[in-house]
Amino acid sequence: MSGIRFGISELPPDGVDPGVFLDELATQGHRALELPFTKDFPWKERQCENFGVLAAQRDLRLSVHAPYFAGLTLPEEDRGKQSLAALEHTMKLGKWLGAPVIVAHFGSNYDEEPDVLMDRIRSRLDYVAPKVETLGVGLGLETAGNRSSFGSLGDIAQLAAEYTFVRPVIDWAHIHAMTGGGLTTKEAFTTVLAVIRDSFPGWMISPLQVQFSDNIFGESGEIRHVPYGEGTLRVAPLVEAVLEAGMTMVLISEARDPESHRLIWEEARTVLDGLRGTSGRLLQTVEAELPGQVRVVKDGERYVPSGLDRPITFSNVDKVFFPADGYTKGDLIQYYASVAPALLPHLADRPLSMSRYPGGIDEPSFYEKRAPGHQPGWMRTVPVPSDSQGGTIEFLVADAPESLMWFANMACIEVHPFHSTTAALDMPTWAIFDFDPTEGSSWDQVIAAAKLLRVALGQLGLRGHPKLSGSRGLHVYVPLDPVHDHSRVRRFVGEVGQYLAAANPDDITMEWDKPRRRGKVFIDHNRNAFGQTVASVYSVRPRPGAPVSAPLAWDELGTVANGDITIVDIWDRLLRYGDLFAAVLEGGQTLEAAEAALGLS
């Protein structure tokens, strides 16, 4: 499992059956394909859908290159709107194809100042955003290849931070040209990869979409593509750098001739074959392309990982934690290492309760709040008042990928953060509506209850964000500024819950008497009390299949259920939609107006 998918940029030749074309690619070892819709749109929606199904059956990852005329920097407003329409159409075709990303050029810089161009690009993206941001297809912006074109890595990173659907696409030939032939060693590629990793969240570059071809260049940048071997750009040091960085990559050969495709792939494959097994074993056993794959070397009874920033060792990594699936402790550790870029912001400065399953999900478990004392010296602890202990308890905090890996090594399948941060422990940063289906109730009732809450929140001037619990129910988080204490937030959730139960008594209940809850969805407002926790977004849940508590868009309610998103298939979703829960961390809401509307003093 290399973590690198190689593919080419090509349309099926006229008269060739698409299935035969794809079979030939798969036989050659290709696992990706870029469809160059660079001049026009040769396919309509139905043809794209059929081709996407055939590609998925052969495990070929698709992308689409938008028409060259569809840029973002055109100064003329009419032509700019036409370009936006072309980009929008390309992204919609990408959705029919099942492609997670399309590729587009920024366009010329027209000898204008960068700030002027960026303002124009923002206005164009603002215009198109409502039409494309929920498609599940990223707008991949390609790095520029000459001085007259716009689009550096920094430009792309700035836009990706502002627009959830923007993604980076790295054209190595372009970077090679713009650096005057600087990409000739593994160290040079490693330097650029480090910039990429520092500039984009991990989920956005897992895998990293890149293009590769040989070229000649001059003082102004790229002049033209040339057959592989005639220039100075080589794929072997890139592959070595990517593997050493623990990254995943979709490598598209944009060479202009079949022989160059073959030579690039053979050189890449030679490196992959030569590196297999040379630096220990993979931590994971599951057959999935998890980002940031960790390799370990056995040292006595422990396993020592390589390439981490903080010292840590693991034990019993092959112990099966999910018997029905064969997933091991090593798979769990690797999952949390992989998801760390998306998960850590949701745990920042929050005390964590440990939910431990030392024998796996079928064996007894227990909660542990106090830091055990044998944690690594670099792990941070924070004091938390405890009425039951008559003092304070030192809780652990996760502030690095290694922290999450240590928790997983301690058999903490779930991650349970406080609702508040250490800055104000009694002031939660969200309110949680926990929809818990009781015996005899259905998932449809859960969805009906959550949709009713959405309406109620809208009437109260508040926004909420749903996520699968990963177990049986559904959670809706209402982001808050940390200005209300837990009791006030709990009261608010309880009051809204009572209104929901009154509006839909067939499906929703707030009854404490368990027999009277039967056949309904229970809203547990006590989840908002101080010290109470629920499984974090992106937390694994101790159930067969290793499901994940995954965020949803509101319009997905009813189409995605618990168990549908697991540790092996969440990655494509993150790449397509980004962190749908990022808005929860923004706060920006208080309860005063909603309380007044509810008649709460």
Q: Are 468 and 558 in contact (CB under 8 A)?
A: no
Nearest to 290 by CA among 321, 351, 247: 247
3-state secondary structure of 128: helix
Residue written as token pair 């618990």: 562
pLDDT digits (tens, 9 = 90+) for 78-115: 999 999 999 999 999 999 999 999 999 999 999 999 99
How far apart, in Å, are the Cα atoms of 93 and each of 72, 90, 137, 371, 554? 19, 5, 9, 51, 23
- CA–CA distance, 176 with 254 (Å, rounded to integer): 15
Neighbours of 12 (CB within 10 A): 17
What is the C-alpha to C-alpha distance for residues 561 and 552, in angstroms, rounded to an integer? 10
Beta pairing partners, 353: 416
The whole-angstrom separation of Cα 430 and Cα 476 is 10
pLDDT > 70: what percent of the chain? Answer: 98
Do the domains spanning 282-417 and 430-598 agree at the CATH topology level?
Answer: yes
- Strand pairing class (465-468; 474-479): antiparallel
Residue 310 Rama label (left phi>0; alpha psi -120 to 50; beta):
beta
SS3 assignment, position 485: coil
Q: What share of the chain is helix, strand, coil (3-state, %, to 5)?
A: 35, 20, 40
Q: How far apart are the C-alpha atoms of 467 and 547, rounded to whole Å? A: 12
Rg value, the chain, Cα: 26
| Dihedral pair phi/psi, residue 164, rounded to 5° | -65, -20
Q: How far is CA 516 from CA 77, 228, 282, 519, in A?
A: 63, 73, 51, 9
Q: Output the CA–CA distances (angstroms, integers) from residue 326 to 262, 331, 572, 600, in the order listed.
A: 37, 10, 22, 51
pLDDT digits (tens, 9 = 90+) for 466-484: 999 999 999 999 999 999 9
pLDDT at position 390 is: 66
Q: How far apart (Å, rounded) are the C-alpha atoms in residues 504 and 523?
A: 12
Dist. CA 387–CA 176, nearest whole Å: 62
User: 282-417 domain in CATH 3.30.1490.20?
Assistant: no
Architecture of domain 430-598: Alpha-Beta Complex (3.90)
Token reading at 463: 């926004």
What are the structural domain ranges in the chain?
Answer: 4-275, 282-417, 430-598
pLDDT at 1: 44
Q: What is the pLDDT of residue 206?
A: 86
What is the assigned CATH class of domain 4-275?
alpha beta
How far from 553 is each of 195, 435, 559, CA to CA, in Å? 31, 17, 11
Over the chain (601 residues), the average pLDDT of each successive run of 10 is: 85 96 96 96 97 97 96 95 96 98 97 96 96 95 97 97 96 97 97 95 90 96 96 96 89 96 96 71 87 89 90 96 97 96 95 95 92 94 83 93 97 97 97 96 97 98 98 97 98 97 96 91 96 96 98 95 95 91 95 96 80
Residue 276, pLDDT score: 55
Tokens 């709460």 map to which residue? 600
Element (H, E) at 314: strand 314-315
